[in-house]
Amino acid sequence: MAMRRSRLTQPFISILKYVALVSVSCVMLLPFYWMIAASLMTTAEIIRTPPPLLPAEPQWRNYLDVVYAVNIGRAYLNSIIVSALTVLGILFTSSLSGFAFAKYHFPLKNVLFTIILASMMIPFFVILIPVFYIVKQLGWLNNYAGLILPGVVSAYGVFMLRQFIQGIPDELLDAARIDGASEFRIYWQLIVPLSGPALATLGVFSLVGVWNSFLWPLLVVQDSALHTVPLALNNLRTYGAEERSLNLRMAGTVLSVIPSVVVFVWLQRFFRRGIALTGLKG
**pLDDT at residue 282, as a whole number:** 42
Residue 173 lies in a domain: yes
Residue 266 lies in a domain: yes
Residue 48 lies in a domain: no
Q: Are residues 70 and 206 in the same domain?
A: yes
Cα–Cα–Cα angle for 258, 260, 266, rounded to 5 degrees: 100
Q: Are residues 13 and 84 in the same domain?
A: no
**pLDDT at residue 272, as a whole number:** 62
- Tell me the per-residue pLDDT of 102-126, one tens digit each, with 9 for 90 and over: 999 999 999 999 999 999 998 888 8
The CATH number of the domain where 211 resides is what? 1.10.3720.10
Q: What is the 3-state secondary structure (H, E, C) of 219-251?
A: HHCCCHHHCCHHHHHHHHHHCCCCCCCHHHHHH
Residue 138 lies in a domain: yes
- CA–CA separation, 97 and 113 (whole Å): 10
Q: Are residues 216 and 84 in the same domain?
A: yes
**pLDDT at residue 280, as a whole number:** 43
Chunked into runs of 10 residues, the chain (282 residues) has average pLDDT values of 59 82 88 88 84 84 85 90 96 95 92 93 90 93 94 93 91 91 92 90 90 92 90 77 71 87 77 54 44
Residue 193: closest CA among 114, 91, 86, 50: 91
Residue 158 lies in a domain: yes
Q: Are residues 244 and 106 in the same domain?
A: yes
Q: 117: buried, middle or exposed (CB in 10 Å: 19+, 13-18, 0-12)?
A: middle
**pLDDT at residue 184, as a whole number:** 93
Domains of the chain: total: 2
- CA–CA separation, 158 and 100 (whole Å): 10
- pTM of this structure: 0.83
Q: Are residues 122 and 255 in the same domain?
A: yes
Do the Cβ atoms of 239 and 72 come closer than 8 Å?
no
**pLDDT at residue 165, as a whole number:** 92
Show the domain range for 8: 2-39
Q: Are residues 32 and 169 in the same domain?
A: no
Residue 47 lies in a domain: no
